[in-house]
């Protein structure tokens, strides 16, 4: 079995926590992990536009010491010649140790996983799911709210086609005490396959009526590319806009998130409010993706190189309290500077014998 991540449910809840905790650790000490994926290659196949997801994955792999191949413009690949999804993904999976794929059709990444020769990560399949955005959101909540439980989360905008919120609600409903308020038009409501397994949720028509009760406000873009006609889209566009007037009714410890890109659903003036965390959220995404790559590849963290000196024939550390006297398998190693030798372990010095 390969460790594919198509839906967050492919992993256990304790594995989600493991990824988030590792993301935090990486953020605190990124240099420890900088060679963890040396020699590994990540293939990124983006059949749909992307800035954050694609670049944060690429940056994550480069920061782990690995390499990247792939395309973000399928028309410059054999897709343009009519190659099937199966053939392209099968081929690239043979060149890669791990693959990340975004595609406009729901279920496409799962389909690719059936024949892929390496683990594959869903970076968004149509209007369906986007599990790594959810890991990003969870790391953001952990860092900024200190918890993933007992949160009242308002989700506003395109709940029908917005894949990020489908994955988000599925995941956060597994943590104790969370409740959801879905703020959307009738046409863009949360699909029933998400709501039917939820316990604590209700709908709201306007941001004004509910913003004061929320711990988290998650804004989303109306997904123009998923509408069947421009007319239909235009009826929905600009219905919910978070501006300073509305935000002023929010709690002092409310946080405002958005997977980005934003159009006009968050007024620019809101960016300067300390509760607006969407750019920070995008940054957290890189660390959580580093953690995910490591966990999927069953990483072998190469510790930072501690020893910088060298072994000198016949020269030994004589400090009786040095670990070298008891751990006899260790080699006596010294750093040399201006004719002075310093033991790597206890820092006892001796003159370089002439
Ligand atoms: C989202 C997506 O692609 O689903 N963006 C992202 O990955 N950060 C949201 C969107 O496009 O509106």
Listed residue (173, 177, 162) closest to 126, CA to CA: 162
How do residues 66-88 score in pLDDT, each as one tens digit?
999 999 999 989 999 999 999 99
How do residues 139-173 score in pLDDT, each as one tens digit?
999 999 999 999 999 999 999 999 999 999 999 99
Looking at every residue in the chain, the average pLDDT score rounds to: 93
* CATH 3.10.20.310 is the classification of domain 131-282: no
pTM, two decimals, is: 0.85
Point out the catalytic residue in the list 103, 128, 130, 239: 130
Point out the catalytic residue in the list 25, 52, 262, 349: 52
Is 51 assigned a catalytic role? no
Query: Could you tell me the distance, in angstroms and rounded to a whole number, from the CA of residue 345 to the centre of ligand 1?
Result: 50
Tell me the C-alpha to C-alpha distance, in Å, between residue 304 and each of 28, 33, 35, 331. 15, 8, 8, 18
Which string of DSSP letters, residue by residue, matches 34-62? TTTTTT-EEEEEESS--SHHHHHHHHHHH
- pLDDT exceeds cutoff 50 at 269: yes
Q: Are 252 and 135 spatial neighbours (Cβ–Cβ below 8 Å)?
A: no
Mean pLDDT of 237-258: 98
Mean pLDDT of 28-35: 93
* 259 Cβ closer than 6 Å to some ligand 1 atom: yes
* 130 Cβ closer than 6 Å to some ligand 1 atom: yes
Which pLDDT band, with edges at 50, 70 and 90, does 299 fall under?
low
Pocket test for ligand 1, best of 106, 157, 164, 278 (most atoms within 8 A of CB): 164
Point out the catalytic residue in the list 81, 202, 252, 308: 81
Residue with CA closest to ligand 1 atom 12: 221
Are 8-129+283-298 and 131-282 equal in CATH topology? Answer: yes
Class of domain 8-129+283-298: alpha beta
Domain positions in the chain are 8-129+283-298, 131-282, 310-351
Which pLDDT band, with edges at 50, 70 and 90, does 354 fall under?
low
Query: Could you tell me the distance, in angstroms and rounded to a whole number, from the CA of residue 25 to the centre of ligand 1?
Result: 26
* 133 Cβ closer than 6 Å to some ligand 1 atom: yes
- pLDDT exceeds cutoff 60 at 111: yes
Tell me the C-alpha to C-alpha distance, in Å, between residue 84 and each of 77, 89, 112, 180, 286. 12, 9, 10, 40, 30
* Torsion angles phi and psi, residue 29, rounded to 5: -140, 65
Is 52 assigned a catalytic role? yes
Can you give the C-alpha Rg of the chain in angstroms?
A: 25
């Amino acid at each position: 079995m390969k460790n594919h991540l198509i839906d967050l449910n492919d992993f256990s809840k304790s594995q989600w926590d493991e990824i988030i905790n590792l993301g935090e650790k990486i953020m605190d000490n990124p240099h420890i992990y900088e060679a963890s994926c040396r020699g590994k290659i990540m293939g990124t196949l983006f059949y749909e536009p992307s800035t954050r997801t694609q670049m944060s994955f690429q940056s994550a792999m480069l920061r782990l010491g690995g390499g990247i191949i792939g395309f973000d413009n399928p028309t410059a690949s054999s897709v343009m010649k009519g190659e099937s999804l199966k053939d392209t993904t099968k081929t690239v999976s043979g060149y890669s140790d791990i693959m990340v794929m975004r595609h406009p059709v729901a279920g496409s990444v799962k389909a690719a996983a059936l024949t892929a020769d390496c683990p594959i990560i869903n970076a968004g399949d149509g209007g369906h799911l986007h599990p790594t955005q959810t890991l990003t959101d969870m790391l953001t909540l952990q860092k900024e709210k200190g918890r993933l439980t007992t949160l009242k989360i308002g989700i506003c905008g395109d709940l029908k086609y917005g894949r990020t919120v489908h994955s988000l609600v599925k995941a956060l409903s597994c943590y104790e005490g969370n409740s959801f308020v879905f703020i959307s038009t009738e046409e863009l409501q949360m699909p029933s396959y998400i709501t039917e397994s939820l316990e604590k949720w209700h709908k709201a028509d306007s941001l004004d009526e509910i913003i004061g009760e929320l711990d988290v406000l998650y804004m989303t873009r109306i997904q123009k590319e998923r509408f069947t006609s421009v007319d239909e889209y235009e009826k929905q566009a600009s219905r919910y806009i978070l501006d300073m007037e509305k935000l002023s009714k929010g709690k002092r410890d409310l946080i405002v998130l958005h997977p980005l890109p934003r159009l006009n659903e968050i007024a620019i003036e809101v960016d300067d409010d300390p509760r607006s965390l969407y750019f920070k959220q995008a940054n957290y995404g890189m660390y959580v993706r580093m953690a995910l790559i490591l966990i999927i590849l069953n990483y072998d963290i190469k510790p930072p190189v501690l020893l910088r000196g060298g072994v000198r024939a016949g020269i030994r550390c004589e400090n009786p309290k040095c670990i070298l006297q008891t751990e006899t398998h260790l080699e006596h190693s010294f750093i040399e500077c201006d004719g002075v030798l310093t033991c790597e372990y206890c820092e006892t010095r001796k003159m370089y014998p002439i």
